[in-house]
Amino acid sequence: MEDNCHRESDVSYHEDNFKESLDSYESGMDSTQMSSDSDLDFIFAGTSLAADLAAWTSEFQVKHNAVDGLLKLLKKHGHPQLPSTACILMRTAREVKTVEKSGMEYLHYPLKEKLVETLDRYPVQLVTDLDTLELSFNVDGLPLFKSSGKSMWPVLCAVMLSPVTIFPTALTFGTKKPTDLAFLEDTVTDLTEVLANGLDYRKKNIKLIVRCFVCDAPAKALIKNTKCYSGYYGCERCTQRGIWLKRGTYQETAELNLRTDASFRAQTQPEHHHGPTPLSDLPIDMVQSFPIDYMHPVCLDVTKKLIFIWCRGEKGMRISAGQVQEISSRLLQLKSSIPSIFARTLRGLDELERWKATEFRQFLLYTGRLVLKGVLREDLYNHFLTFSVAIGLLVCPTLVQPHHHYAQNLLQYFVEKGCELYGATFLVYNTHTMLHVNRCYSFQRPGQLQCFCV
C-alpha cells in the first residue's frame, strides 16, 4: 500500500511533467493558455515593457504563475497592451521558420543540442557521474482549439533522470494528422547517430539507451505503420485474426503466437503492416520497445467499462439504482480517509462520465474493493478483485518481481472469465491486451507499469 501510494505520486508527477513540458517549451502553442487562433498572432515586438518583462522573467527564472499574476496587475493598472500570460510573454520574442513535412508545418530540434541544453540544467554532480543515459519518446496528436481542427503532433523526448525532463525533437502543426512518417526521419537520424557514438558532454562520452516509445494505440499504429487495433490483424503483440462482433474482438486467449522484433522487421504477417517505418532503422526491439500504454486500456477502458456494465449494462449484470446509490455513498464516506497525495478527491457514480483516469485507477487499486463488497454480485465482485489484485501487483515495485507470473495468471483468468460473465463482446482489443500487459512490463522495467503512461 505504501509503495503504491508513492507510485500514485509518481504518476501525477509523470503526467504533469509531460503537460508542463508542453506548456513551457519555447515555441509551444497551448490550448490551455490561448483562447483562440488569434492569440497565435500576438506580437509585441517594440513593446519595450513586455520585452523587458520577458528578459526579467528569464534572468531571474520567475515562476510562470507569478508572472501571470504580475501581468494581470499591470494590465489592470494602465498597461492593457501586455499579454495575458507568461507563456505568451516568453514565446513572442522568438521567430521560427517551419518547413512542410507530412502535410503539416514542421520544425526540427536537433537532438544533441537539446540533450546538452537539458543536461546543463541538472546539478553538476549528477551529470558528471553519468555513464549512461536513458531516453523515452512519445508521439501523439494534440488538438489545440475547440473551435477548429488544428492540432500538433510533437515528437517528445524524455531524459530519464530525476526529475525527468521532456523536450520536443520535432513539432508538426496542421489541420489533420501527418500524411506520412517523414516527420519522424530527422529524429531517427539524430537518434541513430547518438546511439552509435554516444553524447560528448563535459569531456566525457555518455552512452545513450532508448528505454521505450510510449504512445496510445492509434499513435503507435501510426508510427509503426501498422493496422490500427480495430483492424482484423491489429494486435501489436500477437498474430491472431480478430473477429467482428459489432466491433473488433479477439477471442483467442491461450497459446497466442506472439510477435517478435524479427517477425515484425521481416513483416511475416503482411496483413498487420501498411508498410515500412523509419523507426525500424533504430537498434530497438520493434515490439517490446513499444509498451502497452497503461492509462488508456487499464484505467480508461477496462475499469471504466466494468463500472458502466454494472451501472447501465444489460439486465442480469446491471445493479439496481439503490445499489448504485449505495456504492456512491460509500465512496463519499471514504473521502475523508483519502491521503492528499491522491490527485483527486472521490466522486460518486452520478459523476461517472466526468471521472478522470486517475479516479478509475484509484477505484481499481484501492476503493473499488471496499465499496463493491456485498453490493455487487459475488461472482462479478470476485472477477473484479482478480483484475484489481493483478494490476496492483504489476504497479508495485516490491511485489512485481516475485509475483508477476501470478499476476499473469490472474489476468488470463480475468479475460477468460470476463468472456463467460459478460459475453464474447467483452474481448475487445483493450481487454485482450491484458493478456500481453505483464510480459510487456516485466520485459521493460518491472514495477514501472504506470510509468508507461501517455
- Among the listed ranges 138-146, 235-243, 362-370, 420-428, the one in contact with Zn ion (CB under 5 A) is 235-243
Distances (CA, A) of 114 to 46, 110, 122, 129, 411: 29, 6, 13, 19, 41
Kindly tell me the sign of the dihedral angle through the C-alpha atoms of 57, 58, 60, 65: positive
**In the complex with Zn ion, which residue's Cβ is closer, 111 or 427?**
427
- Among the listed ranges 68-76, 236-244, 351-359, 390-398, the one in contact with Zn ion (CB under 5 A) is 236-244
CB of 214 closer than 8 Å to CB of 223: no
- Among the listed ranges 26-34, 96-104, 194-202, 233-241, the one in contact with Zn ion (CB under 5 A) is 233-241
- Among the listed ranges 15-23, 124-132, 170-178, 231-239, the one in contact with Zn ion (CB under 5 A) is 231-239
CB of 323 to Zn ion, least distance (A): 34
Q: x/- site string to Zn ion, residues 176 to 215, per CB under 5 A?
A: ----------------------------------------
**In the complex with Zn ion, which residue's Cβ is closer, 133 or 437?**
437
Asked if residue 292 binds Zn ion (CB under 5 A), the reply is: no
User: DSSP of 156-199, one letter per residue?
Assistant: EEEE-SSS-EEEEEEEEEESS--SSSGGGHHHHHHHHHHHHH-E
CB of 408 to Zn ion, least distance (A): 14
CB of 253 to Zn ion, least distance (A): 10
Residues in region 322-381 near Zn ion by CB under 5 A = none
What span, in angstroms and rounded, lies between the C-alpha atoms of 423 and 400? 30
**In the complex with Zn ion, which residue's Cβ is closer, 47 or 239?**
239
238 φ, ψ (degrees, to nearest 5)? -135, 165
**In the complex with Zn ion, which residue's Cβ is closer, 190 or 236?**
236
Residues in region 238-257 near Zn ion by CB under 5 A = 238
**In the complex with Zn ion, which residue's Cβ is closer, 82 or 235?**
235
Provide the pairing of β-strand 142-143 with 151-152.
antiparallel
**In the complex with Zn ion, which residue's Cβ is closer, 238 or 376?**
238
Asked if residue 221 binds Zn ion (CB under 5 A), the reply is: no
User: DSSP of 126-139, one letter per residue?
Assistant: HHHT-SEEEEEEEE
**In the complex with Zn ion, which residue's Cβ is closer, 28 or 248?**
248
348 φ, ψ (degrees, to nearest 5)? -75, 170
CB of 378 to Zn ion, least distance (A): 30
Helices (H), 33-179: 48-59, 64-76, 86-91, 111-119, 124-128
CB of 248 to Zn ion, least distance (A): 12
CB of 238 to Zn ion, least distance (A): 3
Q: How many residues bind Zn ion (CB under 5 A)?
A: 3
What span, in angstroms and rounded, lies between the C-alpha atoms of 171 and 108? 7
**In the complex with Zn ion, which residue's Cβ is closer, 17 or 240?**
240
Contacts of 219 (CB under 8 A, 6+ apart): 139, 140, 141, 454
- Among the listed ranges 135-143, 220-228, 234-242, 291-299, the one in contact with Zn ion (CB under 5 A) is 234-242
Shortest CA distance to 289 belongs to which of 420, 158, 443? 443
Distances (CA, A) of 37 to 41, 151, 372: 8, 11, 46
**In the complex with Zn ion, which residue's Cβ is closer, 238 or 298?**
238
**In the complex with Zn ion, which residue's Cβ is closer, 300 or 435?**
435
The answer to whether the bond into 402 is cis (omega within 30° of 0) is no
Shortest CA distance to 425 belongs to which of 297, 245, 305, 234? 245
191 φ, ψ (degrees, to nearest 5)? -70, -40
Helices (H), 206-315: 217-224, 261-266, 304-312
- Among the listed ranges 52-60, 237-245, 269-277, 437-445, the one in contact with Zn ion (CB under 5 A) is 237-245
Asked if residue 71 binds Zn ion (CB under 5 A), the reply is: no
Shortest CA distance to 293 belongs to which of 441, 394, 158, 151? 441
CB of 445 to Zn ion, least distance (A): 21
- Among the listed ranges 93-101, 232-240, 297-305, 306-314, the one in contact with Zn ion (CB under 5 A) is 232-240
CB of 171 closer than 8 Å to CB of 27: yes
CB of 256 to Zn ion, least distance (A): 6
**In the complex with Zn ion, which residue's Cβ is closer, 259 or 404?**
259
Half-sphere exposure (Cβ direction) of 171: Cα atoms closer than 13 Å? 17
CB of 437 to Zn ion, least distance (A): 11
Cell of 39: 492569440
**In the complex with Zn ion, which residue's Cβ is closer, 254 or 321?**
254
Asked if residue 235 binds Zn ion (CB under 5 A), the reply is: yes
CB of 26 to Zn ion, least distance (A): 41
CB of 251 to Zn ion, least distance (A): 11
Asked if residue 237 binds Zn ion (CB under 5 A), the reply is: yes
Residues near Zn ion (CB under 5 A): 235, 237-238
